[in-house]
Amino acid sequence: MQLKDQRPPVWVSWWMAFSIVIVSWDAAYCFLRPRSFGTGDLAWIWAPYNMVPYSMVDYLYGQPGLDANDGFTNAQALMNVIEVFLAIEYLYLRHTSPRSSNRTPNPAHHYHAHAPLVGFAGALMTLSKTALYFLQEYFCDWCMVGHNDRFTFWTVWVATNVSLSISYTWVVVPFIVCVVLGRFIAQALMRDTANQIAYLEWSTSQTQSSLTSPKPTSTTSLTVQSDSEQVESDAVSTSITPPAALSLTFHPRNLSVLVIGSNRLAATRATTFLEAGAKVTITSPALISDASPELKQLEQVGRVKYRQSKSDTAEDWSSLFSNLKISLVCVTDTLIGSQSRRSASSAKTIYETCSSLRIPINISDQPLYSTYTFPSVHRFVGQNGIPSNLQVAVTTNGQGCRLAGRIKREIITRLPSNVGAAVDNVGKLRSKAKSSPKLSEEEEQNHDIPLNSPVPQLHTPSLSRVGSTEKLSIIPDGGVEGLSEEEQQLRRMRWVHQMSEYYSFEHLARLKEEDLDQALELWSTSSQDITLSHHQSGHRNKNAEGKILLIGSGPGHPGLLTVAAHHALKTATLILSDKLVPSEILALIPSTTKLHIAKKFPGNAEGAQNEMMELALAGAQKGEVVVRLKQGDPFVYGRGGEEVLYFRENGFESTVIPGISSALAGPLMMNIPVTQRGVSESLVLCTGVGRQGKAVKLPGYVKSRSLILLMGVARINQIIETLTVSSPNAEGRDGERYPGYLPIGIIERASSPDQRIIMSRLDRIEESLKKLDERPPGMIIVGWSVLCLEGKGKVDILDKINASEDDERQIVDDWLDGNDYKVREGLQEGWRDLLSEVQ
C-alpha cells in the first residue's frame, strides 16, 4: 500500500531561511546600538532601515533604553537570537536529519517528527514578539510613535509588520505557518493516542496468544517504536489484524481422539470425529448413566469408549494422554450454560498439558485456549443418496458460530443440489486419467501451467479437408501415436482440469459410467481402417426429417442470447455444444434434451471437431433436430463454414443463427469502444492461434486502429514478442512494430457476473498476468481505445498529430496512475440489474 505524502510545505522552509537572514541582521542591529543608529558609524550596514523613518522611530525608544540601561534592547536581541536558532533547527530537522539518521525514515515523510513542533515554536515566537511591540505601544498610549503623523505611522510602522503586499511580514506569514504546522502537531497527537491504544491492544493480544502457542526455539526480538517514531507514521494502522486461520482438510483416520465431557456437544463432536475415521474415547468425571442420551447411545453400540476420570493435575492429564496415545483433544464441558461446567483454571491446565505434548486442542467457549476450531460444515449428497466427497466449511475463527451456520446455509442454497455428484464424477475421471502410477501428484496438480496453455496438436485429419485416402493416426489400443504413456497421462489430466472449469455442474453430475469412459477417449471412426471420404453418405435419408442448426450463443450471458437461438435450444432434440459455452446458457436446455459437450481439450481440437460433425450428421440422419451450439458467432473463428460445407456434402443444408460476437461485446461490456472518433477509426480482428496450433501473421501497428485477438491469451508471450520486436520486417508481423507503452486489455468471461479486465502496457502485461489468478476464457484488445473512455475520457489521441513517443508514453502512465496494471471486474450496476431481469 502506498503511503500518502504528508510533509510540511516547502514554502515554510523558504520562509524560515529568509527569516534567519533578516532576524540575524536585526539582532546585530540591536546588539550594536547606538553604532547601528542612523547617526552611528555602522549605520551603512542597515541602510534599508535608514531609507525609511523606521530608524528614527527606533531611535526614539531605543536610545532612551540605552541611556537608562534598562536591558530592553539586549532582551530584544536575545529574542531574535532564539528565533534564529529555532528556524535553523527546523530546517535541520525538516531536511537534513532523516538522511543522516541510522533509522530508515518513513517513506511518506522524510522529515524528523519534531520538525513541526520546533517550527511552530519559532513562528509563534515571531508572531508574539510582533504582538508584544503593538501591546507595548498600546499600553503606553503610543508614547513612542504617537508623535508621528498618521501617514508615517501606517506606512512605516504598521505596513512593515502587517502588509501582505511585501514578501517579508511578521504577522500574517507567521500566523499561517503556525496554522499549517499546528495541524501536523494535532494530527500527530491524535495518531499517538491511537497508536498507544493500538499498542496496548496488540500487547494484550500478544500476551494472550503466547498462552496458546508453544514458545519458539529461536530468540525473537520485539522492537517497540518510541513516541517520536510513532508520530512519524502518517499511515499507522489503528487496529491489529489477527492472523488468519490455517484452513486444512485433515484426515484423522485411525488416530486416537479424546473428547472431554458428557454433554450433548460431546456426542456431536464424537460423531464428527467418527465420520472422519478416528477412534474416539470420551472421558468425564460423571458416570456414563449421567451422560447425555446421545452419548449413551454411542457407547452402547460400541462406537466410542467411555472412561470416567477425575484427572485434575497436569501430571494426571499427561499420563492419560500418553496411555491412550491421544492425537487430538476436544473439551466440551466448558460450554457456557452447561451444568458442572469445568473451571477456567482446569481448562488452562489441560491446554498447557496438550501444548507441552504438541497435541492440538479445542476447548469450547475458550478460543484463547484452542489451537483449532470446528467450522460449520455441510457434506453434499452424491449419487444414489450416498454422501459425496464435497464438503463446504465456513469458519469465523470463533467469533460468530451462529453466523457461520447462516453463511453456510446461504452457500448451500446457491449451489445445485447435485453438485456433490459432479465432484464424485470428476474424482472418477481423475482416476481414469491416471491409468499409470507414473503420474505424480505434483505433475497432476501443477498450477504453474495455465489452464489453456498451448500443447502440440495431435495429428488428426479434419473431416472437412481430408482426401479419400488419408487415415487417422490412432493406435489400436486407444493411445496416440508419437506420445509416451506419461505424456498421454498429463494430457488427460489437463482434460479433466478443463472439464472441471468449463462443464456445468449439472452436466458433470449427470455423467454415467459409460460417459466417463468416453470422456477421455480421442475421437475415432468406428473402424481404424475406414477412409474419410468427402462424399461418404452423401445422400440424405428421404424418410428422415432431421435438420441441423448452427447457433451462436453470444458472449456468455443468457440475457444476450438471440430470441431465435433461445427458441432453438428449447425445441432441439440433440444439442452438441462447444466447451466454452457457459453453464448459464446450457441451463436453458430442457433436462430431457440430449446434450453432448465437445472434448476440445489440449491437443485434441481436430479430433473433437470431427466427433461433433459426425454426431451431428448421424443425428440428422436419424431425424433429430440437431443444434451445433457455439460460443459467440458461428462464423467468427467458430469453424462454422467448415461444418456448413461438410453437412452440405453429406446431404444436409444447415441453418445458421448468428450470435453476438465476443469480439465486439467483450470490449463493450468493459466500456471500451472498438471504434471511436478521435481514437480508433478501424479495427482488425485476428486469431491468436492458427490451424494445428501454428502461429498466424499479425497486422502491423497503425495508431488509428484497434487490434482484437481471440484465442490468444494462452500465447500472450509469443504475441507480445511478435508485436513489439523492433525489426520492421519481423517474421509473424505484417507492418510496423507496436510501441511497448501501447495500452492493452485482457478481457475475461465477458458478460458473466465475474467478468474481469486487466489493463496494462504491452511491455508489462506478461508480468502483470503472472500476479493474478486465471479466469478463462479471455480475449485481447490492443490500442488507444482501451483507455479512451476512462474517467473524463481521452478522445483526442488522433488530433495530436505531432505528439512524440514521450508524450504518448506519459498519457499511458498517467492512465495507469504509476502502476504496472489496473483491474476492473464485475458487471456494471446497470448491466447487472438489466441482465438479471431478462435471464
Residues catalogued as catalytic: 578, 599
The CA distance from 234 to 67, in Å, is 54
DSSP state letter for 410: H
The CA distance from 588 to 201, in Å, is 54
Instruction: Identify whether the C-beta of residue 752 lies closer than 8 Å to the C-beta of residue 556.
Output: yes
Instruction: Identify whether the C-beta of residue 160 lies closer than 8 Å to the C-beta of residue 54.
Output: yes
The CA distance from 393 to 634, in Å, is 42
**How many CB atoms within 10 Å of residue 591?**
8
Residues 6+ apart with CB under 8 A from 770: none
Instruction: Identify whether the C-beta of residue 309 lies closer than 8 Å to the C-beta of residue 287.
Output: no
AA letter at 354: C
DSSP state letter for 42: T
The CA distance from 26 to 55, in Å, is 12
- Residue-wise over 51-88: b if at least 16 C-beta within 10 A, else e? eebbbebbbebbeebeeeeeebbeebbebbeebbebbb
Residue 667's nearest CA partner among 815, 785, 807 is 785
* Cell, residue 14: 523558504
Phi, psi of 256 (to 5 degrees): -85, 125
* Angle of CA points 618, 621, 626, to nearest 5°: 70
AA letter at 694: K
Which region, left, alpha or beta, applies to residue 529 given φ > 0 means left and ψ of -120 to 50 means alpha? alpha
SS3 69: coil
The CA distance from 819 to 1, in Å, is 12
* Cell, residue 666: 467483450
DSSP state letter for 105: P
AA letter at 742: L
SS3 538: coil
**How many CB atoms within 10 Å of residue 587?**
15
In this structure, the strands spanning 756-761 and 821-825 are antiparallel
Can you list the positions of beta strands (E) in 382-533?
A: 387-394
SS3 141: coil
Which residue's entry shows cell 489521441?
797
* Cell, residue 81: 537570537
Residues 6+ apart with CB under 8 A from 605: 457, 693
Return the C-alpha torsion angle 404, 405, 408, 414, nearest 10. Answer: -130
The CA distance from 661 to 668, in Å, is 11
AA letter at 285: P
**How many CB atoms within 10 Å of residue 690?**
12
- Kindly list the distances between the CA atom of residue 717 and the CA atoms of 58, 202, 637, 725, in Å, as whole numbers in the listed order: 79, 46, 21, 12
The CA distance from 186 to 193, in Å, is 11
The CA distance from 744 to 666, in Å, is 14
SS3 380: strand
The CA distance from 549 to 560, in Å, is 19
DSSP state letter for 211: H
SS3 402: helix
